[in-house]
Amino acid sequence: MYELSPTESYEAWQAGDATIIDVREVGEHVQAHVPGIALIPMSEIQQRVDELPDGPLIIMCQSGSRSAQVALWLDGLGDYGEVANLDGGIVGWANDGLPIQTGAGD
């Protein structure tokens, strides 16, 4: 597992070089999210691990703490190639001026 900045994560995602997975809970996602990024809450990740795509993954949460735990766990499974933690989470993403949507829409 390694760390990527929000901007590095965005660039990899936009280039199609990695998939970003949001592991925040549903209520957090409703308040603010990045359109197009899949939500698999940390509380469900073990049951839904088969939904994760092959290839490089970048894990996102609110601040980077929970996503680091999930990224480390996924990295330990060894099934997903490169697994990165999005340093600073969605807070860092927003602070870097990257696209974010607030409210329930997508």
Domains of the chain, CATH where assigned: 2-102 (3.40.250.10)
pLDDT of 84-95, one tens digit each? 999 999 999 999
CA atoms within 13 A on the CB side of 7: 3
* Tokens of residue 35, six digits: 């359109």
Report field, pTM of the whole predicted structure over 0.75: yes
Tell me what pLDDT residue 71 has.
Answer: 97
pLDDT over 70 percentage in the chain? 97
Position 106 pLDDT exceeds 90:
no
